[in-house]
Amino acid sequence: MSHMLPFTDPRSAEGRNPKTMVSGRGCHVTDTEGNEYLDAVAGLWCASLGFSNERLVEAASKQLSTLPYYHSFLGRTAAVTDALARKLTEKLPVGMTKIFFGSSGSEAVDTAVKLTHFYQNARGKPEKKRVVARQGAYHGSGALSAGLTGLDYCHIGFDLPGAMVLRTGRPHYFGDAEPGESETAFSRRRARELDALIVEAGPESVAAFIGEPVMGSGGVVPPPDGYWEAVQEVLARHDVLLIADEVITGFGRTGSWFASQRYGLRPAMLTMAKQMTGAYFPMSALALESNVAEVIEKHAHELGTLGHGFTYGGHPVGAAVALEAVRIYEEMDLPNHVADRSNALNAALAPIKANPRVGNVRVIGLMAGVELVDGRDPATKLARRVADEAERRGVLFRVIGPILGISPPYVVSDAEVELIGRTLVESLDAAVRAEGY
Ligand code: PMP
């Protein structure tokens, strides 16, 4: 095979060809064999409007025939990209007034780190450079963002994470709380650990903390009660910036336009991608809080330029698609629409809670995690088997260790949500039988 596949065991890919998709309709995709699948994860948490939205296709096509490419370097830009920047500031948390575009989530995260460093240099704090990230986090595959990611398989063999990164505990209450520990007490413990980490490293060396408001690729982990409040108190005390990584959660995934609004985060920087274009075009952005942006722009002016950018950042076709996606989200009354679909998903996942192999079910907007257990241990092999059984039944889930990840397109119907729940129940029963429990 000439195609080197990301996050895939190359040997197993040699043995059995990867499942190769050729077309999509609604929430379904079809492979080369003609098998159709309900994609319960919207690809990689991103195809929020399904796989056949005509308006997004039309927006892309119109832009392709008007101005198919322009950049935003050297004092030039494209009108549509500029219009998108303005539109985004209307939807973002109050005070986030500047937008820097990229093409991928990793680029947005790398931009956040570089601009954090630039900002600290501008403030005359060149020693304040380290970034705290959490175990289980996913922040991308770039040289900086992969280091911030808190998953061993992204580091081993790559000489990562590197000295810039400080690691703190994940906010996974179900997985990591002590017996009898309340959510609030667990949140306070995580905040104390963060405080101790920063104090030990020396607050003068710590520039920023990066976190997904709800963890995605680390297992769909919502913040336990009081978590962000406690964390932000520690960050403010040590003059450490908050970077909210909203690459998955931005544009309604958790029920509000941005999860920072839902959970009361006051980030200095915020990354977005994925649902921004419904994944019809690779595009990302970093939003900056106005005071931070002002310091950065003043310093760039002193230096004569902001020496950072990507050829395809803010691509006009992506911008046109994103503007149309935002229009569609507005028309669907995004927060209410997601709340309604979330209730349906919750109801569809209720029956699986009765299975003793299910330790925890978490539904946040249109993200869900079903965590499987083996007594008190995580049931990782079983989860893989459940996903295989579900695939055979025509539904695609994401396996994250012992967790089955779910994040369907926002356009998922009642019947499709029910199918997701029913398939999960049947697949778990079949997997348990096959494993001989
Ligand atoms: N941050 C988060 C929270 C993500 O979930 C991802 C991708 N899953 C990224 C960053 C990286 O995005 P990309 O793959 O577009 O580079």
Our answer on whether the CB atom of 206 is closer than 6 Å to any ligand 1 atom is no
Our answer on whether the CB atom of 248 is closer than 6 Å to any ligand 1 atom is yes
Our answer on whether the CB atom of 139 is closer than 6 Å to any ligand 1 atom is yes
**Helical H segments across 315-408, by residue range:** 316-331, 334-349, 380-392
Our answer on whether the CB atom of 212 is closer than 6 Å to any ligand 1 atom is yes
Our answer on whether the CB atom of 217 is closer than 6 Å to any ligand 1 atom is yes
Mutate to test the pocket of ligand 1, among 248, 258, 277, 407 (most ligand atoms within 8 A of CB): 248
Distance, CA 363 to ligand 1 centroid (Å)?
20
- Rounded to an integer, what distance in angstroms lies between the CA atom of residue 38 and that of residue 411? 12
pLDDT for res 287: 99
Our answer on whether the CB atom of 279 is closer than 6 Å to any ligand 1 atom is no
Residue identified by tokens 């679909």 is: 341
- Give the other-Cβ count within 10 Å of 9's Cβ: 9
* Ligand 1 nearest-atom number relative to CA 137: 3
pLDDT for res 14: 64
Distance between alpha carbon 53 and the CA centroid of its chain, in Å? Answer: 22
Our answer on whether the CB atom of 28 is closer than 6 Å to any ligand 1 atom is no
pLDDT for res 296: 98
CATH class of 10-52+334-435: alpha beta
Q: Which contiguous run of DSSP H or E holds residue 70? A: none
Query: What SS3 state is found at 121?
Result: helix
Distance, CA 433 to ligand 1 centroid (Å)?
36
CB-based contact 410:366 (threshold 8 Å): yes
CB-based contact 282:247 (threshold 8 Å): no
CB-based contact 314:69 (threshold 8 Å): no
Our answer on whether the CB atom of 168 is closer than 6 Å to any ligand 1 atom is no
User: For the chain, what are the domain ranges?
Assistant: 10-52+334-435, 57-331
Which amino acid appears at position 139 of this protein?
H
Our answer on whether the CB atom of 313 is closer than 6 Å to any ligand 1 atom is no
Q: Whose CA is nearest to atom 10 of ligand 1?
A: 139
Mutate to test the pocket of ligand 1, among 138, 141, 280, 284 (most ligand atoms within 8 A of CB): 138
pTM over 0.90: yes
Mutate to test the pocket of ligand 1, among 44, 45, 106 (most ligand atoms within 8 A of CB): 106
Q: Is the sign of the CA dihedral 269, 267, 117, 271 positive or negative? A: negative
pLDDT for res 178: 97
Distance, CA 82 to ligand 1 centroid (Å)?
24
pLDDT for res 283: 98
Distance, CA 301 to ligand 1 centroid (Å)?
31
Q: Label the pairing between strands 367-374 and 358-364.
A: antiparallel
CB-based contact 268:235 (threshold 8 Å): no
- Rounded to an integer, what distance in angstroms lies between the CA atom of residue 48 and that of residue 41? 9
Distances from the Cα of 336 to the Cα of 213, 254, 256, 274, 331, angstroms:
20, 11, 9, 20, 11
CATH class of 57-331: alpha beta
pLDDT for res 11: 83
pLDDT tens per residue across all 437 residues of the chain: 889 999 999 887 666 778 999 999 999 999 999 999 999 999 999 999 999 999 999 999 999 999 999 999 999 999 999 999 999 999 999 999 999 999 999 999 999 999 999 999 999 999 999 999 999 999 999 999 999 999 999 999 999 999 999 999 999 999 999 999 999 999 999 999 999 999 999 999 999 999 999 999 999 999 999 999 999 999 999 999 999 999 999 999 999 999 999 999 999 999 999 999 999 999 999 999 999 999 999 999 999 999 999 999 999 999 999 999 999 999 999 999 999 999 999 999 999 999 999 999 999 999 999 999 998 889 999 999 999 999 999 999 999 999 999 999 999 999 999 999 999 999 999 999 998 75
Burial 252-272 (b: 16+ CB within 10 A, else e): bbbbbbbbbbbbebbbbbbbb
- Rounded to an integer, what distance in angstroms lies between the CA atom of residue 374 and that of residue 380? 9
* Ligand 1 nearest-atom number relative to CA 145: 10
Our answer on whether the CB atom of 216 is closer than 6 Å to any ligand 1 atom is yes
